[in-house]
Amino acid sequence: MTADTVTQVLDHVDATLDAALDRLLTLLRVPSISTDPAFAADCDRAAEALVEDLASLGFDAAKHPTPGHPMVVAHDADGPEDGPHVLFYGHYDVQPVDPLNLWHHDPFDPQIEDTPAGRVIRGRGAADDKGQLMTFVEACRAWKAVHGVLPIRVSMFFEGEEESGSPSLVPYMTAHAEDLKADLALICDTGMFDPQTPAITTQLRGLAKLELVVTAPDKDLHSGMYGGAARNPAHVLAKILADLHDETGACTLAGFYDGVPELTNAQRTQWETLGFDAAGFLGGVGLSIPAGEQGRSVLEMIWSRPTCEVNGMTSGYTGAGFKTVLPSKASAKVSFRLVGSQDPQAVLAAMRAHVAARVPADCTVEILDANGAPATVMPIENPAFEAARQALSDEWPRPAAFIGCGGSIPIAGYFQELLGMDALLIGFGRDDDQIHSPNEKYDLESFHKGIRSWVRVLDGLSRL
Amino acid sequence: MTADTVTQVLDHVDATLDAALDRLLTLLRVPSISTDPAFAADCDRAAEALVEDLASLGFDAAKHPTPGHPMVVAHDADGPEDGPHVLFYGHYDVQPVDPLNLWHHDPFDPQIEDTPAGRVIRGRGAADDKGQLMTFVEACRAWKAVHGVLPIRVSMFFEGEEESGSPSLVPYMTAHAEDLKADLALICDTGMFDPQTPAITTQLRGLAKLELVVTAPDKDLHSGMYGGAARNPAHVLAKILADLHDETGACTLAGFYDGVPELTNAQRTQWETLGFDAAGFLGGVGLSIPAGEQGRSVLEMIWSRPTCEVNGMTSGYTGAGFKTVLPSKASAKVSFRLVGSQDPQAVLAAMRAHVAARVPADCTVEILDANGAPATVMPIENPAFEAARQALSDEWPRPAAFIGCGGSIPIAGYFQELLGMDALLIGFGRDDDQIHSPNEKYDLESFHKGIRSWVRVLDGLSRL
C-alpha cells in the first residue's frame, strides 16, 4: 500500500465533505434521548437509520433488540482476511436537553454556525456522540468509494443506552461475545488535548452512582403548623450532602481513597510538558478557584483523582412564587468518578453507610438506581497505540499525546474484561463542545479532520 | 335581645345547611391559586363571586383593584348604629395543588366524603380559607333571613394574596384606612384546639422568607470533564442549609433568638392543662421524634419557638433517569417562623450574612423575594375576648381556650399597627385538614358549627 492509496482517500473525503455533513445533520434531527422513556421510538429510529446506512456500504448490518434500546452490529461483508480485525464502538443516544430555554435554537434542528473560532455544527449529539461516530463511518465510506475494499477487517457496534447507564450492554456483550470479538476496539467518544493536539486517551475514570430519597413526614405539611416539631427531609438531605466533603475538598466516605494511585514521575512529567492552562480551563466556565482536593493540580483533579458530585437534588416547592410547605420528601442524584483500582461497589456501600448514619430513626431512605464501573487503564505498549499515534500526528499540527480523561467510558473496560480486547480511544471533541449542556456543538474541523484521521489510522493499522 | 333571638337563627342555620354547602362548593370550584400568574383570572372570578353574594345580602360590596389580585370590601347597608362595629377578614385565594398525583380527585372538583371521623368537604381551599370565610358569611345570611338586621355593624374585607405573601395588603390598608377602620377585627383562618375544644388564637408566629440562588459555573457541565475541579453549587447550597441548625436543633443564625421570650408560668400551666398529645400529633404524619430544639416541648416548638425551614430546593437534573451533569445553579426557598419581638429584617440580614460567608469568591448568590412580618400577641383583657370565649363555649362540647398558633397571619398584626384594632382569631379548622397539602378537607361539622358559632359570637358582641 502506498502513500497514494491514502492520499486518494483523503482527497475524496475533502471533495465529498458536504454530503457527509448532510448525513450527520439528518442523524442529529432524531431526538434519541435514551434516559427518557418518551423518546424510545426515536432511539429505535436512530438505530434503524444507522443499519440502513451501513448496509448501503456493503456491511452485514442488523438491529438487535434488548430490554432497553436496540444494539446495532455490522460486519464488513468484503473485508480482507489478513491484517487486524477492529471493532468500532459508538453510541447513537444523546443526553436530555433541559434547560431548554438556554438553547439558542431547537436542539434537534441542527445548524451550521460561523463562530470566531470557525464553523461549528450546533445541536444535541453533535459531539456526543453522533458526530464522532460518523467520522469513522464516513472514513470507511470514502475508503470503499475509492478502493472498493477496506485495508483491514472492520466491524461496528453501536449502542443506544450510553447516556443512561448502558443497562443492556454487559448482558448483550456476554451473550454475543463471539459475534463481537475482534483484535482491537476503536472508540470515538473522547476529545483532543487541544485544538492543535490530537490525543489517544489511555486512562479513564470509572463511575459509581445512586439516587437517594429521604422521607420524613408521610405528606407535605404546613410549615407553620408543624415547623420546628416535624423533621424536614430537606435538612436531613442537606446534612448528608454537605458531609460528603471536608474543608480540604476531600471526600469523607470511609475507604474512598483505597486503590487511588499517585501519579508516577513519568506521568507527572509528560502531563507537565502538555502545558495545560488550568486558569483558562476554569475561566472558560466562569470560575477561577479549583474546587477539588487542596494540593492537587487541576489536571490531576480531572484526570487522575476520584470525585464525588451531586448531579441533581430536589425537595418541596420549586415552582414560581413561595409555598411555606414542610416537604415530605427530599431526593438527590449523586455520582462518583473512580480511578485506579477503586471498587464501585465498595464506594456505593460506603455511601449507603454515610446516608444511613444521618437519617433519623423515624425517617426512611430509599437508594435507587445504584450501579457503577471501575476505572480503565490501557496498555500503551501494544504497537497499535504507537501506529495510531503516528497516524494522528500526520494529520494534525502537533504530535498526538497519550492522555487521561475525567469522563467514564465503561465500554473500554468491558472490551478488556468480556472480550479480551484493548481499546484505542480516539476522539476529536474539544473542551468547549458543551456536551451534556445547552448549545452542544462539534467543530466542522473536528468532523472533517476526524474523518481524515480515521483514514490514516485504518492505513496505519493495516501495516502492523 | 333574648336567647330566642339566637335560637331562631341557629334553627335557620340547621334548616338551610344544604344550601349553604352548595354555595361553598361553587366557590371551591374556582382555582384561585394566587402565587401562580396563570390563575390570575380565576382569582378575579372568586372575588367577583363574593361581591355578588354579599350584595345579595344587602351589603355595599365592591371589588377593588390592586397591583396584584383584587380586594373585596363590603359594608352592611342597614346595620344598627349602636354596638361595636366589626371588620371580618378572610382570603379567597388558595395554595398551589402540586403534587397533583397525590390527590384522590381533582382539587377543584370538591366532594362531600363520608369518613370514619364524619363527613368532610374535600378540595383545595375547603379549610384554608374559603370554608372558614363562608362560615361567617352564612352566619350573617341566616341572621338577616330571620331578623332582617344584624345585631351589630358588620363590614367584610377579603384579600386574594394571602398565600403569596400579601404584597398589596399593607399599601391597600394604608391607603384605605378610613374605609376599613372598625372597633374590632374578626379573622377566621385558624383552628380548633381539638375537635371538642374551640379556640381563640391569641399569639401568632411571624414569618420571614427568602429564596437564594447560587451560581458556580456559568453553564451546566459534564461532571466527568469538569468534576473535581469545577465548583458544584449543589455542594455550596447543601453546606449553607446544613449549617442553619446545630446538633441540638437550634438555629445557628447570629442573633436569631434575640427577642424570643420564655413562656410565663401562667402560659406554661394553661398549656399543660390542655393535655396536648405530642405523640399523636407527630404520629399523625408518620413521625415520632420531635425535630426542634432539645429540651422544648412539641407545643412550645410549634406555638412559642421560632423555626427555620427549607420549603423547597432544586439543582441540576431532577427528571427521570440519571444525568451526570455538574449544575450551574442551585436554589432554595427558606422561611423562618418568628415569635415575641424577633425582627424579620434582622433575621433576613443574619441569613444573608450566613449565606455570604459560605459562597466561594468565584461563585455568585442572588437573594430573591425576601420579606417578613413580626409575631403577634393579642390583649386578652379586651372584654370582646371573654365574650367570644363564652359564645364559643356555649356551642361546643368543651370550653373555648386561648391558644398559640405556629402559623403566621400577618393581617392580625397589620390591624393593630395600621388600624389600631385588636383581632379575634376564631377558626374551626382541625390539625388533620391537610391545608397546603394534597387532599385538603374541612369537616362538615366545622362548617356547620362554625356558622352557628359566629351567630353566637355576633350575639355576644352585641351585648358588650
Type and span of the H or E element at A434: none
Residues of chain A with pLDDT under 70: 1-3
CB-CB neighbors (< 8 A) of A234 in chain B: 241, 310, 312-313, 332
- Which A residues, 117 through 146, put their C-beta within 8 Å of a C-beta on chain B? none
DSSP state letters, B66-84 = -SSSPEEEEEETT--SSS-
Residue among A190, A194, A247, A324 with most chain B CBs within 10 A, to mutate = A324
For chain A, first and last CA: distance in Å? 12
| Angle, vertex CA B389, rays to CA B388 and CA B395, nearest 5 | 90
Among B311, B362, B407, beta carbon nearest to A325:
B311
- Over 60: is that where the pLDDT of B442 sits? yes
CA B57/CA B141 separation, integer angstroms:
7
Contact yes or no for B217/B442 (Cβ under 8 A):
no
Asked if B197 contacts B400 with a C-beta cutoff of 8 angstroms, the reply is yes
Which ranges of A307-436 does DSSP label H, i.e. alpha helix? 344-356, 383-395, 410-419
Q: How close A22 gets to chain B, by Cα (Å)?
A: 27
Give the mutation candidate from B251, B285, B369, B437 for the A interface (greatest A CB count, under 10 A): B285
Grid cell 470566531 in the structure block, residue: A116
Q: How far apart are CA B231 and CA B233, in angstroms?
A: 6
Alpha-carbon separation of residue B375 from A108, A315, B49 (angstroms): 53, 27, 32
Q: Shortest CB distance from A289 goes to which of B291, B307, B361?
A: B361
The reply to whether B304 touches chain A by the CB within 8 Å rule is no
Average pLDDT over residues B120-132: 98
What are the start-end ranges of the H helices in A295-443? 298-303, 344-356, 383-395, 410-419
Low-confidence winner among A343-352, B62-71, B73-82, B95-104 (lowest mean pLDDT): B73-82
Burial of A328 (0-12, 13-18, 19+ CB in 10 A): buried
- CA atoms of A416 and B446, how far apart (whole Å): 71
Beta-bridge partners for A337? A207, A307
Identify residue B62 by its one-letter amino acid code.
Answer: A
What is residue B2's predicted lDDT score, i.e. its pLDDT? 62
Q: What part of B 191-220 touches A (C-beta under 8 Å)? A: 205, 207, 209, 211, 216-220
B206-260+306-372 CATH: 3.30.70.360
Q: Yes or no: say if A127 and A42 are a contact pair by the CB < 8 Å rule.
A: no
The one-letter code for the residue type at A24 is L
Peptide bond into B246 cis (omega under 30): no
- The rounded distance, in Å, linking the Cα atoms of B444 and B428 is 10
B8 at interface of A, judged by CB pairs closer than 8 A: no
Sort out which chain A residues have CB atoms less than 8 A from B431's CB and list them.
Answer: 225
Residue A136 phi, psi dihedral angles, 5° rounding: -75, -40
Contact B235 A224 (CB under 8 A): no
Q: Give the DSSP letter of residue B323.
A: -
Q: How far is A100 from chain B (nearest CA, A)?
A: 12
Measure in Å the smallest separation between the Cα of A69 and chain B Cα atoms: 14
Contact (Cβ atoms closer than 8 angstroms) between residue B412 and residue B376: yes
Q: Answer yes or no: do B302 and A245 touch at CB < 8 A.
A: no
Q: Which of B310, B364, B425 to mutate to test the interface with A (most CBs of A within 10 A)?
A: B310
- Reading the block at residue A409, the C-alpha cell is 467510558
For A297, nearest residue in chain B (alpha carbons) = B229
- Ramachandran bin of B89, using left for φ above 0, alpha for ψ from -120 to 50, beta for the remaining angles: beta
Distance of residue B447 Cα from the nearest chain A Cα, in angstroms: 20
Residue of A nearest to B407 (CA): A224
Sketch the domain layout of chain B as residue ranges: 3-204+375-462, 206-260+306-372
pLDDT in tens, B397-433: 999 998 988 777 888 889 999 999 999 999 999 989 9
Q: Which secondary-structure segment (H or E) carries A15?
A: helix A3-15
Residue A426, C-alpha cell as written in the block: 480516539
Grid cell locating A118: 470557525
Computed over every residue of chain B, the mean pLDDT equals 94
- B342 in reach of chain A (CB within 8 A): no
Which of B253, B251, B261 minimizes the C-alpha distance to B375?
B261
User: Which residue of B161, B365, B436, B440 is the best one to mutate when testing the A interface, meaning the one whose CB has the most A CBs within 10 A?
Assistant: B436
pLDDT at B296: 94
Position B125 pLDDT exceeds 80: yes
> What's the one-letter identity of residue B319?
G
User: Is the Cβ–Cβ distance between B399 and B393 less than 8 Å?
Assistant: yes
Distance in angstroms (rounded) separating the CA atoms of residues B242 and A238:
5
Cβ <8 Å between A209 and B324? yes
Interface of A with B in 408-447 (CB under 8 A): 408, 431, 434-438
Is residue B3 very low, low, confident or very high in pLDDT (cuts 50, 70, 90)?
low
Question: What is the spatial distance between Cα B145 and Cα B139, in angstroms, rounded to a whole number?
Answer: 10
Q: How far apart are CA A328 and CA A217, in angstroms?
A: 5
A 57-86: CB under 8 A from B: none
Is A241 in contact with B242 (Cβ distance < 8 A)?
A: yes
CB atoms under 10 Å from CB of A189, counted, come to: 25
Q: Which amino acid is at A90?
A: G
Label residue B298 left, alpha or beta by phi (over 0 means left) and psi (-120 to 50 means alpha). Answer: alpha
How far apart are alpha carbons B239 and B190 in whole angstroms? 35
Q: Assess contact for B443 and B120: CB atoms under 8 A.
A: yes
Q: Which residues 18-37 of A have a C-beta within 8 angstroms of B?
A: 35-37
Is residue B283 classed as helix, strand or coil in its secondary structure?
helix
Q: Which three cell numbers stand for residue B242?
A: 446544613
CB-based contact A458:A151 (threshold 8 Å): yes
Q: Do A242 and B245 touch (CB under 8 A)?
A: no
Cβ–Cβ contact A367 with B under 8 A: no
* Count of beta carbons in the 10 Å neighbourhood of residue B315: 31
Q: Which of A312, A326, A362 sits opposite B288 (nearest CB)?
A: A362
Regarding beta strands B85-91 and B401-405, do their DSSP bridges make them parallel or antiparallel, or are they unpaired?
A: unpaired
Helix (H, G, I), strand (E, B) or coil at B64: strand
Quickly count helices (H) and strands (E) in chain A.
15, 18
Q: Which tens digits make up the pLDDT trace of A233-263?
A: 999 999 999 999 999 999 999 999 999 999 8
CA-based nearest residue in chain A for residue B290: A229
Q: Name the CA radius of gyration of chain A, rounded.
A: 23
Cα(B308)–Cα(B464) distance, integer angstroms: 41
- Return the C-alpha cell found at A89: 464502538
Q: What is the pLDDT of residue B1?
A: 55
Name the phi and psi angles at A62, rounded to 5.
-150, 155
Question: B315 to chain A nearest CA, in Å?
Answer: 5
Q: Nearest Cβ partner of A333 from B216, B317, B431?
A: B317
Q: Residue A3: its pLDDT value, please?
A: 67
Q: Which fold has domain B3-204+375-462?
A: Aminopeptidase (3.40.630)
Distance CA(B430)–CA(B449), nearest Å, equals 13
Judged by a CB distance cut-off of 8 A, whether residue B289 touches chain A is yes
- Record the cell numbers describing residue A171, joined without a space: 448482558
| Contact residues for B153 (Cβ-Cβ < 8 A; gap 6+) | B76, B79, B80, B81, B83, B84, B85, B86, B182
Distance from CA of A302 to the nearest CA of B (A): 6
Which residue of A102, A189, A226, A235 to mutate against B (max B Cβ within 10 Å)?
A226
**Alpha-carbon span B96 to A225, nearest angstrom:** 17
Could you report the predicted ipTM of this complex, rounded to two decimals?
0.74
What confidence score (pLDDT) does residue B204 get? 86
- pLDDT confidence of residue A139: 98
Q: Among A110, A113, A137, A136, which residue's Cα sits nearest to residue A124? A: A110
Q: Is A225 on the interface with B (CB under 8 A)?
A: yes
Helix crossing, A40-56 with A17-28: angle to 10°? 160
* A208, closest residue in chain B (CA to CA): B324
- Is A463 near chain B, with CB under 8 Å? no
CB-based contact, A242 to chain B, within 8 Å: yes
Angle subtended at Cα B449 by Cα B446 and Cα B450, rounded to the nearest 5 degrees = 65
B426 CA to chain A: closest CA distance, Å? Answer: 16
The residues near B247 (Cβ < 8 Å, ≥ 6 apart) are none
CA distance, residue B433 to nearest chain A CA (Å): 10
- The minimum CA-CA distance between A263 and chain B, rounded to whole Å, is 17
Please, are residues A190 and A133 in contact by the beta-carbon 8 Å criterion?
no
| A289 lies within 8 A of chain B by CB | yes
Say which DSSP state A3 is in. Answer: H
**A–B: how many Cβ contacts below 8 A?**
354
Res A244: pLDDT: 98
Measured at the alpha carbon of residue A189, what is the angle toward residues A8 and A20, in degrees to the nearest 5? Answer: 40
Name the one residue in this structure whose C-alpha cell is 450574612: B353
Of the candidates A163, A234, A244, the beta carbon closest to that of B313 is on: A234
Q: A68: distance to nearest CA of chain B, Å? A: 13
Position A165 scores a pLDDT of 84
Closest CA to B342 of B201, B204, B161: B204
